[in-house]
C-alpha cells in the first residue's frame, strides 16, 4: 500500500510539473517565460530551460537581457553534453560579445568543447588537435588567467591521446612485418614526444625494427642497414644511458656487428675466388 501511495504521489507531481511547463510554453508573456527559464536553469533542468531559451532567443535579441540569455543557452547545450552545439554557441557568443567580461571564460569553454568531442584513440583525432591549438591560443591570449593550469593539463592529456594513437600505428606496422615503416614511425614518435615516459620503449622498438628490416634485406643492402641498427643503439645509449632496456638493445647491436663481419668475410672470399 505504501509503495502504491508513493507511486501515485510521484505520478501526480510529474503530471503537475509537465502541466506547468506546457502552460509556460504556450504563454505569450515573454518576461514570465524568461523568469521560468532561468529558474529551470538554476535548478539544473537544462532540457526545459533550453526549450524556453530557444523560443526567447529572437524575442530578446538586441536587448540588455540578451547576453545573459545567450550565455545560459550555450551552457544548456554543454551541460546536456551536446558539445557540437555548445561549440557553435560559445563561438557565436564571442562573435556577438567580444568585449564581454565573460569573454575569457567563454573562450576557455569554447576550446573545452573540442576536447569533449575528442573520440577514442582509434578514431580520427581532428577535434583533439583542434582542442590543443585552441587551448594554446587561450593561454597566449590570457596568460594571467586562473584557467591556464587547467588549459595546460588538457593540452597534456590531448597529447597523450595523440601519442597513444601514433604508437598503435607504429606497433601495427611492426606486427605486420613492415619493419622499415615501423622503425620510421617509432623514430618520429620519439621526436614528437621527447619527454614521453615511454621514450625508452620507443628507442628499443626502433632498434628492433631496423634490425628486422636489415635481416630481411637483400645481401647488397644489409651492411648499411645493420650499421643503422648500431647507430640507433648508440643514440639509445646517448639518450638513456641508465635504461634497463639497454641490454636488450645491445643484443641487436651485437648481432648486427656479427652479421657485418660475416658479410665482409663472404665478400673477401668472393673476391679471392674471382
Interval 145-182: pLDDT, tens: 999 999 999 999 999 999 999 999 999 999 999 999 99
Average pLDDT, the chain: 92
User: Residue 153 falls within a domain, yes or no?
Assistant: no
Closest by CA to 255, choosing from 236, 219, 230, is: 230
What contacts 8, CB < 8 A, 6 or more positions away? none
The answer to whether 142 touches 104, Cβ cutoff 8 Å, is yes
The domain in which residue 187 lies consists of 177-274
Domain C-terminal end among 80, 100, 127: 80
User: Residue 154 falls within a domain, yes or no?
Assistant: no
Read off the C-alpha cell for 179: 619493419
User: Residue 240 falls within a domain, yes or no?
Assistant: yes
Stretch 126-139: mean pLDDT, rounded?
A: 97
pLDDT (0 to 100) of residue 156: 96
Domain C-terminal end among 45, 80, 115: 80
Give the span between the Cα atoms of 266 and 273, in whole angstroms: 11
pLDDT (0 to 100) of residue 188: 96
pLDDT above 90: residue 144? yes
Q: Considering its fold, how many domains does the chain have in total?
A: 2
DSSP state of 123: S
User: Residue 55 falls within a domain, yes or no?
Assistant: yes
Give the span between the Cα atoms of 202 and 267, in whole angstroms: 34
The 10s digit of each residue's pLDDT in 17-31 is 567 898 888 888 999
Amino acid at each position: 500500500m505504501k509503495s502504491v501511495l508513493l507511486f501515485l504521489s510521484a505520478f501526480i507531481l510529474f503530471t503537475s510539473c509537465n502541466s506547468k511547463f506546457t502552460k509556460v510554453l504556450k504563454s505569450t508573456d515573454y518576461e514570465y517565460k524568461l523568469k521560468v527559464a532561468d529558474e529551470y536553469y538554476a535548478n539544473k533542468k537544462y532540457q526545459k530551460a533550453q526549450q524556453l531559451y530557444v523560443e526567447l532567443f529572437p524575442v530578446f535579441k538586441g536587448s540588455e537581457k540578451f547576453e545573459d540569455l545567450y550565455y545560459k543557452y550555450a551552457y544548456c547545450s554543454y551541460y546536456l553534453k551536446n558539445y557540437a552545439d555548445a561549440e557553435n554557441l560559445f563561438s557565436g557568443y564571442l562573435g556577438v560579445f567580444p568585449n564581454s567580461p565573460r569573454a575569457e571564460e567563454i573562450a576557455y569553454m569554447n576550446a573545452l568543447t573540442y576536447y569533449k568531442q575528442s573520440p577514442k584513440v582509434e578514431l580520427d583525432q581532428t577535434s583533439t588537435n583542434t582542442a590543443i591549438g585552441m587551448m594554446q591560443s587561450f593561454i597566449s591570449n590570457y596568460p594571467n588567467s586562473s584557467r591556464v593550469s587547467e588549459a595546460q593539463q588538457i593540452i597534456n592529456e590531448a597529447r597523450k591521446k595523440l601519442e597513444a594513437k601514433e604508437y598503435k600505428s607504429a606497433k601495427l606496422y611492426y606486427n605486420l612485418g613492415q619493419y622499415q615503416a615501423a622503425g620510421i614511425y617509432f623514430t618520429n614518435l620519439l621526436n614528437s614526444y621527447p619527454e614521453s615516459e615511454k621514450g625508452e620503449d620507443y628507442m628499443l622498438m626502433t632498434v628492433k625494427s631496423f634490425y628486422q628490416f636489415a635481416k630481411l634485406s637483400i645481401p647488397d643492402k644489409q651492411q648499411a642497414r645493420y650499421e643503422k641498427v648500431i647507430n640507433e643503439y648508440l643514440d639509445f645509449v646517448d639518450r638513456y644511458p641508465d635504461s634497463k632496456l639497454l641490454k636488450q638493445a645491445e643484443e641487436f647491436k651485437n648481432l648486427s656487428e656479427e652479421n657485418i663481419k660475416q658479410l665482409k668475410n663472404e665478400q673477401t672470399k668472393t673476391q679471392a675466388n674471382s
